[in-house]
Amino acid sequence: MDQLTLLLLISFIFIISLFILHSRISQSAKSPPGPRPLPIIGNILELGTLPHQSLANLSRTYGPVMSVKLGRTTTIVISSPKVAKEVLQEKDHAFCFRTIPDTIRALDHDKISVAWMPPMSQWRVLKRICATEVFSSQRLNSTQSLRQRQLKELVHHVSEFCRKGEALDIGDAVFTTVLNSISNTFFSLDLALYTSDKSQEFKDVIRGIMEVAGRPNIVDFFPVLRVLDPQGARAKMIGYVAKLIAFFDGLIEERLQFRGSEMESKRFNDVLDSLIQLMMQENPQVSRSQVLHLFLDLFVGGIDTTSSTIEWAMAELVRNPEKLKKVKEELKQAINEDEQLEDFHISKLPFLRAIVKETLRLHPSFPLLVPHKTEDEVQLCGCFMVPKNAQVLINVWAIGRDPSVWDDPKQFMPERFSSTEIDFKGHDFELIPFGAGRRICPGLPLANRTIHIVLASLLYHFDWKLADGLKVEDMDMSETYGISLHKAMPLKAIPKQT
């Protein structure tokens, strides 16, 4: 056999081998199943007004790894703990980028935000600052007394409704408490009074940001329309973001002027002071702009999700009087009558902790988490190929209601956590309302303390009954969706002194 014939034969065998290998790869790594998309619009019409519920329903048909087409965007929806673990822990390096909604581009927030920016060097700096300067145990312990004052003011406010026998809007009261609790931790000041309109102003801006960010936007499905902003969503977001950025900038300027005054010797033991020190270093770790947008992330996300979780927990307890009675008995046994509720009491209250876990299981603040994105093709579950630039949604709402994961998943049963060590801190993928992996919510330590201690204060000092003769079986527990999940109908209840 001459050399030319041998070379041609080797080439032919090589080509055939490549073809067989490609066929095997194609067979072993296929696209996840999903509903058939319509031309151009894909599956957009199937999302509805509650996309987490719509996607959960579709996943029952197409499985825990599902592909849907939203305009030009391929979206992979994950609805099982096992696959969520693969995405967020085992292969989190491949899934740790973000799909950026057009509204998040307001004032270039996506380029500076610790929640949205790519996981590069500056993101690591901001994440480290969150861990060491904002949410460390030392920082939260040092600002505990400021939050204690908010609990006393909440009890005093609720006592007025108790004295008058009037119904309290629990969501509004909790929002003001959490607003002032977080603002004292960050800035050493109250931002609102229970009797003023200031709390409502902040609530309108914060809820506005969450709703606009989460509402379906045609620009996200068809990026070619970005320049037109046909729904005006980005314009609305710019208005909301500009208000908060201007407010934070005023606080920074005021603190800088204070540092240069005769009273400079007085030090604030708060987050703002720590971040200003980092800004003022010879080789600053962060810029003023980065601090402003960091406060925007932490302030908006922390207040909205924490207050909504407490309202959901109260709604479930009012709806389940036997659970309410049980947690009140635990509180009375663990806390002396003349004692002030403090963070360390949380460890003595296992049923209260179980209530918070059960609330987060049924009503996760971010039902689809913040969207992830792939930078390259990634194989998932050993058989599916997730394409480059695909959006990846983790449907934690669906996981929390999956009957293969939880017994009686639609029932509010805190007792289910009495015989398990499952927690929501990112290690147990059956319960990941704050996410997991490198992009877990940085504010989890403060949220954990605030949710438990505010909820305990409302339960320890007061009994609760529904207003206007409403029966528990008639309570409206429907949801409204932004980027976060809220109770559609405000919870109003009459407090009674215990």
Domains of the chain, by residue range, sit at 30-497
For residue 350, with 0-12 CB atoms within 10 Å meaning exposed, 13-18 middle and 19 or more buried, which class applies?
A: middle
Rounded mean pLDDT of 84-105?
Answer: 96
Rounded mean pLDDT of 95-99?
Answer: 96
pLDDT of residue 337: 81
Rounded mean pLDDT of 454-483?
Answer: 92
The verdict on domain 30-497 having CATH code 3.30.56.10 is no
pLDDT of residue 467: 87
- Residue 433: other Cβ atoms inside 10 A: 26
Rounded mean pLDDT of 184-202?
Answer: 87
Q: Residue 410 phi/psi, 5° resolution?
A: -85, -10
> Mean pLDDT lowest for which of 25-39, 63-77, 266-280?
25-39
Rounded mean pLDDT of 385-405?
Answer: 97
Would you say 231 and 218 are in contact if contact means Cβ atoms under 8 Å apart? yes
pLDDT of residue 29: 59
What percentage of the chain carries pLDDT values higher than 90?
A: 79
* pTM assigned to the model: 0.91
- Kindly indicate the confidence band of residue 483, based on its pLDDT and cuts at 50, 70 and 90: confident
Which stretch, 18-22, 32-36, 300-304, has highest mean pLDDT?
Answer: 32-36
- Kindly indicate the confidence band of residue 18, based on its pLDDT and cuts at 50, 70 and 90: very low
- Kindly indicate the confidence band of residue 419, based on its pLDDT and cuts at 50, 70 and 90: confident
